[in-house]
Amino acid sequence: MHIHIQNQHFRKAIADVSRVVSSKSPFPSLTGIKLTADDHKLTLIGSNSTTIIKKEIPASEDTLVITEPGSIIIPAVYLYELVKKLPQDLSIHVDENHSITIRSKDILTRMKGLNPYDYPPLPELNHDSSIEIESGELVQLIKQTAFAVSSNDTRPVLTGVHFSIQKDELITIATNSHRLALKKHKISSTIKGDCIVPSAALFELNRLIEKDCSPVNILITDHYIVFTTADMSFYSRLIEGSYPDTSSLIPNDSKTTVTLNTSDFLEGVDRACLFSKEWRNHNIQLELMHGSHLKISSRSSEIGRIEELQKLSALTGDNELILTLDGRFLMEALKSINEDEVSLCFSGSMRPVLIHPVDNLQHLQLISPVRAG
């Protein structure tokens, strides 16, 4: 293999794929990045066996010139640190003994590579069974649900986000049994299916595509979900098991519904959380006052008490209510809402609170109350 490549493009691709590479992998090949050059492109692959990132750099006169096709595995930690420190574009040559020569200006580096045939093959894909979504929409779907997964490994299925593809809808759901986040997005699809995706993989995917404007194709296989853009493929192994039926958890009616300004309410909850840290559930109390205001309060036995009144934009149903919620859960739910106003639907002092943007039931947050103690 012999290529000449622009440093900036190469460094960015290495940084992306190396995010999932571990220097402590029991498999030597997975401690490296696999480079494959053909007549049209350079492909870089990094993997930790559960997550795989593939990046492609197309051949062009300005960015990449491929003189001789070939393939090699290069130790990831050394490759990334080296390329960061090289001043100019690179010439990379690999011989039949897997020895690598990297030249940049007057700097010559020689490294030992690994046999590319030792690298595990990528999962086979059926591109006929895929859906397309704008990258910005996918980023929002993940941001608005993945935070609600469980951090407890006793129920592995709850540590992931449930992806459900219907005829014309993609639904993402996450829950830890005490709260739930759900988002629906309209798509055009002729396929149906569902899977559970590890939340850690989705956070990693978001970091890679957050500034990408190209569409994302999503494919689901028996063991992997794959997200593909114009120059990247992101593979995540699925969590095995059946996701619980959460549809029965969402209340169909409420005794009281209030509407508030989202940012003002979030700031009030944030202030109340300052005094709630001694409680295991970061207790904050919500109470309807005079049918026109919501009182947000919390207390600390060591520090004192904080409370404030916020004027309601609207109220329907009973005008008397008092309940206690986990302030952290409430803050994270409100941060996921982009609209100016939010509705809170109460079904009782110990019934879950349904939170959603005003007139938008495509994005739901559900939080179970806690005992005031």
CATH number at residue 321: 3.70.10.10
Residue 25 makes CB contacts below 8 A (sequence gap 6+) with 31, 48, 49
Predicted structure pTM score? 0.92
One domain for residues 282 and 328: yes
Q: Minimal CA–CA distance to 64: which of 14, 102, 10?
A: 10
- What is the DSSP track for 88-109? S-EEEEE-TT-EEEEEETTEEE
Residue 167: CB atoms within 10 Å? 10
One domain for residues 88 and 167: no
Residue 123 placed within a domain: no
Residue 124 placed within a domain: no
Residue 230 placed within a domain: yes
What residues make up the domain containing 150?
132-247
268 residue type, one letter: G
One domain for residues 207 and 266: no
One domain for residues 264 and 299: yes
Examine the fold and report which residue of 224, 247, 270 is the final residue of a domain before the chain moves on: 247
One domain for residues 58 and 147: no
Residue 105 placed within a domain: yes
Residue 169 placed within a domain: yes
Per the structure, the count of domains in the chain is 3
Q: Minimal CA–CA distance to 198: which of 228, 167, 224?
A: 224
The residues pairing with 285 across neighbouring beta strands, listed in sequence order, are: 297, 324
CATH number at residue 84: 3.10.150.10
| Residue 54 vs residues 2, 16, 221, 330: alpha-carbon distances, Å | 20, 9, 17, 37
Examine the fold and report which residue of 61, 84, 118 is the final residue of a domain before the chain moves on: 118
Do 34 and 45 contact (CB within 8 A), yes or no?
yes
Residue 266 placed within a domain: yes
Tens digit of pLDDT at every position of the chain (373 positions): 999 999 999 999 999 999 999 888 889 999 999 999 999 999 999 999 899 999 999 999 899 999 999 999 999 988 999 999 999 999 999 999 999 999 999 999 999 999 999 999 998 887 777 899 999 999 999 999 999 999 998 999 999 999 999 878 999 999 999 999 999 999 988 788 899 999 999 999 999 998 888 899 999 988 999 999 999 999 999 999 999 999 888 888 889 999 999 999 999 999 999 888 777 778 999 999 988 999 999 988 778 899 999 999 999 999 889 999 999 999 999 999 999 999 999 988 788 999 999 989 999 999 999 876 5
Residue 46 placed within a domain: yes
One domain for residues 267 and 342: yes
Element (H, E) at 365: strand 363-367
